[in-house]
Structure 1
Amino acid sequence: MGETLKVRPRVWIGLAIYVGYATVVFTVQAFSGVRYDELGESGSNLFLGAGLSLIIAAVLLAITTSLLGWWRPALFEQHRSVRWPIIAPILMAVALVFNLIATDWAAYDGAFLAASLVILLVGFTEELTTRGLLLTALRSRLAEVWVWLLTSALFAAMHLLNATSGQALGATIQQVVFAFVGGTVFYILRRVTGTLIWAMVLHGLWDFSTFAVTHGTVGPLAAIGATINLLAGALALISVAFVIRGANERISAPTPSIA
């Protein structure tokens, strides 16, 4: 894998990308003037308040990853972990199906649906930033347990920014806790399948489903989805040790083309 790298992975590079991503998203969303608690009111609010920042961030992340030459380590594992912990991501997928069933689709118009589809990009941007590029950088120095812990914690910390754009502090703290658990589910999916791509897909669909189910009248099956998601998170926290155990994913690049 080392021969494909243009820049040797270093922890500070991963952290700089993380801060840069958060800064770009926060800045674009702040200039939109749309509060977090107003995103679901219309398609234009959702696009300007969230979708636009994701489009810009996706382009910048793709350019950055190409310049670094980190696509392969960011997207693929060298070795897959034990398989059975995939039960947690499967449960999360089942939960999002219940969200979609419980969605009031009659409340959708074309603009809101289009903006909602743009939200799928969050799976690409947030996963590539944290469990892609940041993970690659951390693996250059740290043991895998720290890679899981820091990528999940920093992914969760991203959501603190929502408190600065209108979301109540209590709701934000709760979101941060759930994001850490969700990040663990996505980490497990990467390790079990050997690729970040499936985590990107699940993450994007999950966020799409959470916006969808809260638009209009929430159906009764949403409670079942929430319960299943809690079970997925609990199982993820229990099983993550098994996907970390024996991991040999350290990144080395003995002769990078750029220092």
Structure 2
Amino acid sequence: MVIYFGYVAVVFVVQQLTGVPYTDLGDSGANLFLGAGLSLIVGAILLAITTTLLGWWRPALFDRHRSAHSWPIIAPAIMVLALLVNLVSTDWSSYDGAFFAASVVLLLVGFTEELTTRGLLLVSLRSRLSEVWVWFLTSALFGLMHLINALGGQPLAPTMQQVALAFGGGTIFYILRRVTGSLIWAMVLHGFWDFSTFAVGHGTPGPLAATGGIIEIVGVVIALASVAFVIRGADERLSTPATGVSATP
């Protein structure tokens, strides 16, 4: 929890110091880099150092056993479809080199947020709690992480909607970890998902732009209905994630 709150605090402070409101991130490449990209770079460096010092890379990135049920990967597959719809609907003619470069930096969000929640937090929770609580708490805290967007200038109503969708998205990423046995695929999907959501909101979106959001909701519903199957029989509880290192901070 110290690592979780520390990451959220670092991201919030760096974003506040840049002075770019959350609602203005998509206006230019400079805004996107200063308002989001810079905090991700700082967070990624600090998380990498923390994970190395703890010796938690292996348990944070890999499960010992994959889920016995692989069919729930339907939910992540649907999210990939929504991602592709976002990219097809993007007004690429509105991009310049600076905005594209800043957008690429957004891919780091997959590394930072996944390592924080479904990586380090997950490892720690597994030393104390059953897997159902591990799923619920990592997904819930991932969703609540987005509350800082309201402090950054986003209205409360869309922020709460974002929190709810992030809980569902977190469930999709959790399923992807359990089915593949690795957090890396969740990092990749998460990074490209955020890239696509900022991309489709830049310029003039195509006629299918709203379809991506609808497909995402379908994926979330399927994920919530199927997550129990990847939790069932999970044998991932850890007494210690690394030699000589306690599982909880």
Give 1:228 shift: 1.3
Structure 1 equivalent of residue 142 of structure 2: 155
| Residue 145 of structure 2 is aligned to residue 167 of structure 1 | no
CA contact (8 A) 2:55 2:242 kept: no
Deviations for 1:168-215, whole angstroms, at most 9, x for unmatched residues? Answer: 000100000000000000000000000000000000000000000000
Instruction: Give 3-state SS (helix, strand or coil) of 2:222's partner.
Output: helix
Q: CA deviation at 1:258?
A: 4.8
Corresponding residue pairs, total: 245
Q: Which residue is 2:3 aligned to?
A: 17
Pick from 87, 101, 104 the counterpart of residue 117 of structure 1. Answer: 104
The 3-state SS of whatever aligns with 1:217 is coil
Q: CA deviation at 1:255?
A: 8.2
Distance 1:191 1:42, change over 3 A: same
By how many angstroms is 1:232 displaced?
Answer: 0.4
Distance 1:254 1:118 in 2: 30
- Is 2:83–2:192's contact at 8 Å kept on the other side of the alignment? yes
Structure-2 residue corresponding to 1:10: none
1:107 pairs with 2:104:
no
Unaligned regions of 5+ residues in structure 1, if any? 1-14
Corresponding residue number in structure 2 for 1:5: none
Task: Give the whole-Å Cα distance in 2 for the aligned partners of 1:184 and 1:104.
Answer: 30
- 1:1-259 to 2 correspondence within 5 Å? 15-81=1-67, 82-253=69-240, 256-258=243-245
Amino acid at match of 2:6: G
Aligned to 1:56, what secondary structure does the other structure show? helix
Q: Distance in 1 between matches of 2:123 and 2:70?
A: 22
Between the aligned partners of 1:103 and 1:254, the Cα distance in structure 2 is 42
Structure 2 contact 78–215 (Cα < 8 Å) conserved: yes
TM-score (norm 1): 0.93
Aligned-partner Cα distance in 1 for 2:61–2:209: 32
Q: 1:254 to 1:186 in 2, by over 3 A?
A: closer
- One-letter amino acid of the counterpart of residue 36, structure 1: Y
Cα RMSD, aligned residues only: 1.1
Q: Deviations for 1:53-99, whole angstroms, at most 9, x for unmatched residues? A: 00010000000000000000000001111100000000000100000
Q: CA deviation at 1:222?
A: 1.5
The change in CA–CA distance for 1:226 and 1:258 in structure 2 (over 3 A counts) is closer
Write the letter of the residue equivalent to 2:18: S
Report the alpha carbon displacement of residue 256 of structure 1 after superposing the two structures with TM. Answer: 3.2
* Residue identity opposite 1:171 in structure 2: P
- Kept in 1, the 8 Å contact 2:110–2:186? The answer is yes
Contact 2:91 2:202 in 1 (8 A): yes
* CA distances 1:29-61 after superposition (whole Å, capped 9, x unpaired): 000000000000000000000000000100000
**Closer, same or farther: CA 255–129 of 1 in aligned 2, 3 Å:** closer
For 2:124 and 2:18, locate their aligned partners in 1 and report how far apart those are by CA, in whole Å.
32
Using structure 2 for the length normalisation, give the TM-score: 0.97
Alpha-carbon shift at residue 218 of structure 1 (Å)? 1.0
When structure 1 is superposed on structure 2, of 181-190 and 218-227 the one drifting more is 218-227
For the residues of structure 1 that align with 2:133 and 2:215, how far apart are their CA atoms?
28
The CA distance in 2 between the partners of 1:146 and 1:254, in whole Å, is 18
